[in-house]
Structure 1
Amino acid sequence: MGFVRSLDLAIRAALATLISGSALLGSLGIVLVLSLTGGVALSAYAAELLNAIGITVPPSVWPVVWTTVSVGGLAWFGRATGNAIRAERAALLERTTPVSRASLEEATVIDSAVIRLARQVDIPKPAVRIHSTSVPLAYTTYRSDDPIIRTGHCGTPVVVLSRGILINLSRSEMTAVLAHELAHIANDDHRLFTGVLLPLVAAETIIEDEGYPSSVTDVCASLLVFIASIGVGVFSRGRELAADRGAVTMTGDPVALATALEKLDGTGPDKPTTDLRKYARSTNAINILPSFDTASTASGLRSTHPSLETRLDHILSLSAERTESRR
């Protein structure tokens, strides 16, 4: 069962693919130019060295060398990008423990809610883990050893709730948050999101200096990061509203989701720990609310989430629809 069937989301997905695809092509172009330049320089040095010892290499050999070096550069780039995504996934599961290690009451409430919600949307029950941070976080990710780009049902989603979520929310509010996460899974958002996120990770992989760009390559890669982050934002904002709709559909309780969002948005000045801030790129886009002071929480086209006001208005409209349908 999926909730995403709207024309708006289809348009957003197509637009995000176009934007992110252009950033990925740009990144591949940069790597290809760098690799080819390195291959040409290597061949010039090798030719000079071989000529010095009396060995003449046929000119037809060098294009083969250039091609080999270019292919090797692209292969390295693909591997580095994949490793970066796996490192993010691993970081998102650090400091988490299985829900079975929580208190008996918490484990029972969470487990029964997840089983019931998963049956409603006809998906396998996902694993649930508890993060030790007091920062309110709720997101779904995959294990680092799962395929980067999933096909079919490869990989098992892992829903992460932070200790801050358990402390701040009532049972009905926590159920609404879990419903939001399972709506994402039912809509296959996380598999699709990996494809949209990949160009952003790829562009960031090229940057040598994470601070001020120190070379032409860094400047170009930073521009591609900016473009790719727009694609991520366009895609993510629509899916968040769709997951909110799915949560209301599953729980039948729009008030619980609205109050959960309001509580999580106003839980104080606490900020995530350093290890999570390093991975803000993906966490902001998959967390129920953005939690980081980074570019990925910027307003406008790069924002990964609709504003709280927009989401509350959307939930209010869903509540009105439910009331109207009962008449």
Structure 2
Amino acid sequence: MNYFRTAILLAGMTALFMAVGFLLGGRSGMMIALVVAAGMNIFSYWNSDKMVLSMYGARQVDRNSAPEFVGMIEELAGRAQLPMPRVFIMDNPQPNAFATGRNPQNAAVAATTGLLNSLSREEVAGVMAHELAHIKNHDTLTMTITATLAGAISMLANFGMFFGGRDNNRPFGAIGTIVMMVLAPLAAMVVQMAISRSREYEADKLGAQICGQPMWLASALAKISNAAHQVPNMEAEHNPATAHMFIINPLSGERMDNLFSTHPATENRIAALRALAQQMGAGDGNWGGTSAQPTSAPRSGAWGTDAGTRRGPWG
């Protein structure tokens, strides 16, 4: 089903790309856009993860450079019955994280230094379990390719300002160009919103089940949401088409759960996690506790005996 949804998404984004080409150059522009879109689909399938990681200056770490963080990912991946993903850290003060890769065998997870330095280990575990849930649900291919194509559509639309409205090959002239410049990025954003918001709820639920404590993720979401709108993420601001990949919208001014937000309202996500915690019989789950600690929680020895109080840096 996920592969079918991916195919439908690619077809829709390709059609949107062709529509922009048609408005810019008529039938010839549409055919050129089709060829470009086909090439981008192929390129994105194999390389979109590398592009996004490079865009954010992510550096790969291992057990030598970040032993505790990598050990955490390894244990959570085992609990999720996933292959060990590549692990990256982004030097960015905003607390945030994302996952990418065309399939679980070629996946990667990335967290910012802001996330590792400001959240407790339980909260980081909840966040990274959420990202592993995206991998397990095969969301990462769809999300990464969508980011690539949405960015290309917005860029192509912006090219319209450099063309006059007098080209007879373009059916709607200057009016069509203006409409295209406004509607094409908006349409790409709506597509991103549609695929991202429902998947965030699904990843929250599965991620909570992977780490064993929904309230770890709920606590992390509250902290990240508050900090994300105070600490700018300049790479994300320059590449807004990638915003839907992050666990919390990294762009400024996106607090409301409205039509144009790529993420559900954090309050709604936390409420859903609280309800899940009640269903699972899980409490706040402070690391090292007795009453709230579920038997399925990751063992504390993997990250140290003081895992409930320590923070980063973790490499």
4+ residue runs over 6 A deviation? 80-85, 210-214
**Closer, same or farther in 2 for the Cα pair 1:281/1:82, shift >3 Å?**
farther
Partner amino acid, structure 2, of 1:165: L
Distance 2:207 2:43 in 1: 33
Distance 2:162 2:84 in 1: 45
Calculate the aligned-residue CA RMSD, in Å. Answer: 3.7
Partner amino acid, structure 1, of 2:230: P
Distance 2:137 2:180 in 1: 34
Distance 1:241 1:276 in 2: 22
Distance 1:307 1:70 in 2: 37
Q: Is 1:300 matched with 2:300? A: no
Count of aligned pairs between the two proteins: 269
1:277 maps to what in 2?
Answer: 237
Distance 1:23 1:188 in 2: 18
Shift of 1:36: 5.3
1:219 maps to what in 2?
Answer: 179
1:189 maps to what in 2?
Answer: 139
SS of aligned partner of 1:95: coil
**Closer, same or farther in 2 for the Cα pair 1:190/1:213, shift >3 Å?**
farther
Distance 1:177 1:117 in 2: 11
Kept in 1: contact 2:14–2:37 (CA 8 A)? no
1:168 maps to what in 2?
Answer: 118
Distance 2:230 2:111 in 1: 19
**Closer, same or farther in 2 for the Cα pair 1:157/1:174, shift >3 Å?**
same
Partner amino acid, structure 2, of 1:125: M
SS of aligned partner of 2:259: helix
1:320 to 278, 281, 286: 278
SS of aligned partner of 1:301: coil
2:267 maps to what in 1?
Answer: 309
The structure that has the greater radius of gyration is 1
Q: Is 1:110 matched with 2:69? A: yes
Shift of 1:31: 2.1
Q: Is 1:259 matched with 2:219? A: yes
* Structure 1 unmatched runs, 5+: 40-68, 143-149
Structure having the higher helix fraction is 1
Shift of 1:193: 2.6
**Closer, same or farther in 2 for the Cα pair 1:29/1:97, shift >3 Å?**
closer
Partner amino acid, structure 2, of 1:159: V
**Closer, same or farther in 2 for the Cα pair 1:116/1:154, shift >3 Å?**
closer
Using the aligned pairs only, state the percent identity: 24
SS of aligned partner of 1:207: helix
* Structure 2 unmatched runs, 5+: 165-173, 283-293, 295-315
1:130 maps to what in 2?
Answer: 89
